[in-house]
């Protein structure tokens, strides 16, 4: 890896990194020179495939099994990553679940799991990661364009959880600013992943750009916010959705 790469030698943790946008983020950070640890909960084969791919391209990566719904498990994984890497420079809170259902069909277990993974997990991941960061640290939370507008039936729970992610991003940017740590959110719209593949026809018809994003596109935005040119950006929530919520 060349020392001229924008993230050369930076130490990163990506939660929920084995598939979809998370895997694209892992690839991009490693491609730009970072040493990347990522968590997965139930996809060891996908995690190993990603590791093999990144290593084959000369990147530095390893995986840790952790359920983001379990705060102790998640914080332990971040601690282990920091111990192995000798500290942390970048945290990307990507792990999330999508429940799409009308209010009459939502059951409490789905509501509670959505809040545990989409809201509680990133909060406590930031708490733990910040303990291992110095000035120059970067925290990027993966929210959603549903935090801007969730004006479709069945999006209430997911939109609520992602609105909370954006709100905590803005508040914690103030808390971490004196430490020299930035906190930002990206708000992807329709992105082709396992979570959205079954809804393509419905989604594409609502996007002015006429397509869904490739996962590499939000990943590139994360890499920029993690990089040296984004040191004065904090508390931002950048929407990337092909003008869907413009």
Q: How many CA atoms lie within 13 A of 144 on its CB side?
A: 24
Q: What is the pLDDT of residues 89-147, one digit of tens each?
A: 999 999 999 998 999 999 999 999 999 999 999 999 999 999 999 999 999 999 999 99
Looking at residue 244, what is its pLDDT?
A: 94
Q: How far apart are CA 154 and CA 116, in angstroms?
A: 19
Q: What is the pLDDT of residues 167-195, one digit of tens each?
A: 999 999 999 999 999 999 999 999 998 76
Cβ(46)–Cβ(241) below 8 Å: no
Q: pTM here?
A: 0.96
Looking at residue 202, what is its pLDDT?
A: 75
Q: Quote the longest CA-to-CA distance of the chain.
A: 55
Domains in the chain, start-ordered, CATH in brackets?
Answer: 11-240 (3.40.50.720)
- Residue the block writes with tokens 């420079």: 89
Q: What is the pLDDT of residues 40-53, one digit of tens each?
A: 999 999 999 999 99
Residues taking part in catalysis: 158
Question: Could you tell me the two tokens for 60?
Answer: 């530095």
């Amino acid at each position: 890896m060349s020392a001229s790469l924008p993230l050369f030698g930076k130490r990163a943790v990506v939660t929920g990194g084995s598939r979809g946008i998370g895997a694209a983020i892992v690839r991009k950070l490693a491609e730009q020179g970072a040493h990347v640890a990522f968590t997965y909960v139930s996809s060891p084969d996908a995690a190993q495939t990603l590791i093999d791919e990144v290593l084959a391209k000369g990147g530095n990566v390893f995986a840790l099994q952790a359920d983001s719904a379990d705060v102790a498990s998640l914080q332990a994984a971040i601690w282990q990553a920091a111990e192995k890497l000798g500290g942390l420079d970048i945290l990307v809170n990507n792990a999330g679940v999508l429940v799409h259902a009308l209010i009459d069909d939502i059951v409490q277990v789905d509501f509670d799991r959505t809040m545990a993974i989409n809201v509680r997990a990133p909060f406590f991941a930031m708490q733990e990661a910040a303990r291992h960061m110095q000035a120059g640290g970067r925290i990027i939370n993966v929210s959603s364009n549903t935090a801007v507008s969730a004006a479709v039936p069945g999006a209430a729970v997911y939109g609520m959880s992602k609105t909370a992610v954006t709100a905590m991003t803005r508040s914690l940017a103030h808390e971490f600013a004196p430490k020299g740590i930035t906190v930002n959110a990206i708000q992807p719209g329709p992105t082709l992943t396992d979570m959205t593949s079954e809804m393509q026809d419905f989604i594409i018809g609502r996007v002015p750009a006429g397509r869904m994003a490739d996962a590499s596109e939000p990943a590139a935005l994360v890499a920029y916010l993690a990089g040296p040119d984004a040191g004065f950006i904090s508390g931002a929530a950048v929407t990337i959705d092909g003008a869907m919520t413009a």
